Amino acid sequence: MTRVGIIGAGFMGGMHAGVYSMLPDVKIAGIADIRGEKAKSLSSRYKTIPYFDPEQLLTRQDISVMDICLPTFLHKEFVIKAAEQGKDILCEKPIALNVGDADEMIGVCRKNKVRLMIGHVIRFWNEYRFLKEAYDRKNYGELKGLSCRRLSPLPTWSWEDWLLNDEKSGGALTDLHIHDTDFILYLIGKNPAKIFSRASGGSGLAHVYTTFTFADGLVANVEGGWDMPAQYPFEMSYTANFEKAVIEFNSRNNPTLVVYESTGKVNRPVFDKIKAEGGSGNIEDLGGYFHEIRYFIEHVSHNKQFNVVTPEDARHSLAVIGVERESMEKNVEILI
């Protein structure tokens, strides 16, 4: 039995708790949040103990795993505290606000011989896993071009509006757009040769357009922003143009993914959906979170190394976000 403590009882803490409750041989041993009503509500739903002081949960010796679902600016503090208590750790993405903090977190986890995984959930999302497999196996030949979009209304649902504070969240660039930057790095398996980023209409970190150009000529265009009107439905999507097919995904569509082959054949793969109960935000399907957390628990339980996403991967994606920010600020294309 793996006993898990969750720190943070907001939307993401609720998503993670829902997954843990579905896994065999896993027990949610406690949920902590300084907002007492949040801790009580989520703990009651999953029949566990609420904590209003995270330190009390961190020091419980019977808990081997700590799941950190806190705002980004608190990741470093609580990852280090959990590592010093000897806990294996799942921490929400991004790993931190800067690579210096990320390096310190990784170093402390190594020193204390605990495992750290960062929740870059898109690597586990069914439609993105489909694209990764098609790319790696060359099911449709070489990838010729890729475009990704991730658009959201203004995220007014966060605790004390921390998401809207660039110093605490890094803006949409670091919190939202990083999903696609991270996935492209994972998909291609190498750095782009050039990065060129622009902010939309002077919106700074709220809406960004980036072009990644790879050494072999592949171009990936990415748009990410959370400055859309309140009634604008959340969208994550991609169009991948291969030699022998185009794969198109849009979270708004049903089915979400269509493969248009050059032979004229049209495929519409269907993926199982796991309904996310309660909470708020823009995700209704637990699927990506289920695959991610099951992977984490299986690897922790069987003492296996993470390979889908490592702490170093998460640190690298954050570093590339930093290059995008530099490109925006300097209005130049950057060679890397």
Are 192 and 286 found together in one domain?
Answer: yes
Do residue 111 and residue 153 come from a single domain?
Answer: no
Note whether 146 and 59 are same-domain residues: no
Residue 24 clears pLDDT 80, i.e. is over it = yes
pLDDT at 185 over 70: yes
If asked whether residues 87 and 187 sit together in one domain, one would say: no
- Same structural domain, 280 and 253: yes
Query: Would strands 26-32 and 2-7 be described as parallel, antiparallel, or unpaired?
Result: parallel
Mind listing the pLDDT tens digit for each residue in 135-157?
999 999 999 999 999 999 999 99
In a shared domain, residues 220 and 249:
yes
pLDDT at 204: 76
If one counts the domains in the chain, the total is 2
| Residue 45 confidence (pLDDT) above 50 | yes
32 neighbors 7 (Cβ within 8 angstroms): yes
Q: Taking the chain, what is the end-to-end CA distance rounded to the nearest angstrom? A: 45
pLDDT of residue 286: 83
Q: Which residues contact 195 (CB under 8 A, 6 or more apart)?
A: 210, 211, 212, 213, 320, 323, 324, 327, 333, 334, 336
Residues 29, 157: one domain? no
Residues 143 and 285 in one domain: yes
CATH number at residue 295: 3.30.360.10
pLDDT confidence of residue 203? 64
Backbone angles phi, psi at 117, to 5 degrees: -125, 135
Burial of 174 (0-12, 13-18, 19+ CB in 10 A): buried
* pLDDT of amino acid 281: 53
Question: Are residues 128 and 30 located together in one domain of the fold?
Answer: no
pLDDT band at 315 (very low <50, low <70, confident <90, very high): very high
| pLDDT attached to residue 279 | 45
Distance CA 249, CA 162 (A): 30
Tell which of 96, 120, 144 closes a domain: 120
Same domain, 26 and 145: no
Six-digit token pair at 166? 């660039």
Could you tell me the CATH number of the domain that includes residue 111? 3.40.50.720
| pLDDT confidence bin for 276, thresholds 50/70/90 | low
Q: State the chain's maximal CA–CA distance in angstroms.
A: 61
Dump pLDDT digits (tens) for 102-122.
999 999 999 999 999 999 999
Q: What is the DSSP letter of 233?
A: P
Residue 287 confidence (pLDDT): 85
Q: H or E element: which one contains 199?
A: strand 194-199
Q: In this structure, are 182 and 298 located in the same domain?
A: yes
In the prediction, which pLDDT does 280 show? 47
Q: Tell whether the model's pLDDT for residue 273 goes beyond 90.
A: no
Render 84-120 in DSSP notation, one character per residue: HTT-EEEEESSS-SSHHHHHHHHHHHHHTT--EEEE-
Structural domain harbouring 73:
2-120
Antiparallel, parallel or unpaired: β 65-68 and 143-153: unpaired
Q: Are residues 25 and 92 in the same domain?
A: yes
Write down which residue in 78, 102, 120 finishes a domain.
Answer: 120
pLDDT, the chain, mean: 95
How far is the C-alpha of 106 from the C-alpha of 155, rounded, in Å? 29
pLDDT in tens, 321-333: 999 999 999 999 9
pLDDT bin (cut points 50, 70, 90) of residue 79 is very high
> Each residue of 224-272: pLDDT tens digit?
999 999 999 999 999 999 999 999 999 999 999 999 999 999 999 999 8
- Residue 252's pLDDT is 95
| Alpha carbon distance 334, 328 (integer Å) | 10
Tell me the pLDDT tens digit for each residue of 160-181. 999 999 999 999 999 999 999 9
Number of CB atoms found within 10 A of residue 152's CB: 20
Task: Tell me whether the omega of the peptide bond preceding residue 71 falls within 30 degrees of 0, making it cis.
Answer: no
Domain termination site, one of 75, 90, 120:
120
Q: Are 90 and 67 in contact (CB under 8 A)?
A: yes
